[in-house]
Amino acid sequence: MPRPQTHLASLYDDLTTFCGVHSVRVQFGPGAGISIVRETLGRISGNACTRPYQHQMGAATLRIVKRSELWTFAAAAGAVAVAGVSDLAELTIALRFVAAGVALALLAVLIGRSTEEIGHRLSAGATGVLQASVGNLPELFVGIFSLRAGLVDVVRASLVGSILANSLLVFGLAILVGGLKNGRQRFSREKARIGATMLLLAVSAIVIPTLVHELHAPAEAHIDALSGASAVLLLLSFGAVVFYLLSTKADLPLLDATRRQMPEWSLERSVATLLVCGVLAAFVSEWFVAALEPMIHILGLSQAFAGFVLVAIAGNAVENVVGIQLALKNKADYAVSIILSSSLQVALALVPALVLISFVIGGAHLTLVLPPLLVIGLLMTALIVALIVGDGESIWLEGVPLIGLYGMIAVSLWWD
């Protein structure tokens, strides 16, 4: 009569051969049946013994592509195709605008994912630098094409809108839903304080040209030069942060570079995804801007409202959702880090980059002379965020005034 271990070994070999899984040496003995079933089913499903089934490719350990990732790739490809066809065929403005907006958001998802995978192979500081450099590619392309189309007011409002949408709307929603589900939430007071302080300093530098213009200071006659100088100083500040991240192991909330995990994609796949999505984002941004101006007229919106709400939220859709999801999971430290990081990236890198680029591409220059309402909104936002994160904890009630303030500023920009 055959021994039970022989039947188990035969069953294991049959299952692994049928599913295309390479067999490994397994010791059979008492109680081996359960471990064999777990090992086999785990390898078939890509989650052997609670860890991903991994292929060895060079030095990297990679997991099988998840179904959700395949859906993201497919959805992004479909959205880009629809946006491209609708633009070339000159279909309805609404379809072109919505398709391009959805495509931008999905490309931002893939850009962020590929950047994260590349970052797993780098130090925490280098990861922060990489994410800061390419994380805002869709917003950068939209800003460049908007400047070329002469939509300077849209660009100004979208830059301020990105900062306020993250710091007021998304932060408020994260505090609200996280607090309602999990009660009082706590996060690192020191990291949040550093992030809020850096945001306040960056915002102060951005509003100086507006103060010079409104107060009719002698420098008002040289507002282009003053805006360029402010942009250079902001980039130097960003460079100092980059140097700090690369030279130390300290954890600044510039970016959420604290979660070190094993890479799930190969390096080739990560780089290829980043390059392809970056190129596609440039094309989609042009289609988005081409549909933006007529859409503004159809809806009867002001350029300031369109930039403050539509463009800003479309460009930051990914980080917005991630920050709120983390708060719901009671990971307040990560949520605060991501939300503050998004605002800081815009203030320290994206704003000065677009100011300097506008001097090169021709047309109207993007200066840092902002409408007074946006200036006051920036300063109020930076101060309120600093007050909320100062004690290292939050309750759901603190999120309500943040959301309300964002809504009041947005409504104030509705009329032209």
Per-residue confidence in pLDDT tens, the chain, 416 aa: 444 444 444 544 444 444 444 444 444 444 444 444 444 444 444 443 434 434 444 444 444 557 777 888 888 899 899 999 988 888 888 899 889 888 888 887 788 778 777 777 776 556 656 665 666 777 888 888 888 888 888 899 999 998 998 889 989 999 999 999 888 888 877 778 888 888 888 898 899 999 999 998 898 899 999 999 999 999 998 888 777 766 655 455 444 444 445 777 888 888 888 888 888 888 888 898 888 888 888 888 888 888 888 888 776 666 667 778 778 888 888 788 778 888 888 888 899 999 999 999 877 889 999 988 999 999 999 999 888 888 888 889 999 999 999 999 999 988 87
Looking at residue 118, what DSSP letter applies?
A: H
Looking at residue 43, what is its pLDDT? 44
- For tokens 């359960």, the residue is 34
Q: Which domains does the chain have, with CATH numbers?
A: 1-51 (no CATH), 123-262+301-412 (1.20.1420.30)
* E strand map for 52-108: 54-57, 60-63
How far apart are alpha carbons 33 and 287 in whole angstroms? 58
Residues 6+ apart with CB under 8 A from 7: none
How far apart are alpha carbons 308 and 182 in whole angstroms? 31
How far apart are alpha carbons 175 and 314 in whole angstroms? 21
With 0-12 / 13-18 / 19 or more C-beta atoms within 10 angstroms meaning exposed / middle / buried, residue 5 is middle
Looking at residue 404, what is its pLDDT? 92
Which two structure tokens, joined as six digits, stand for 222? 């040289």
For the four alpha carbons of 293, 295, 297 and 301, in that order, the dihedral sign comes to negative
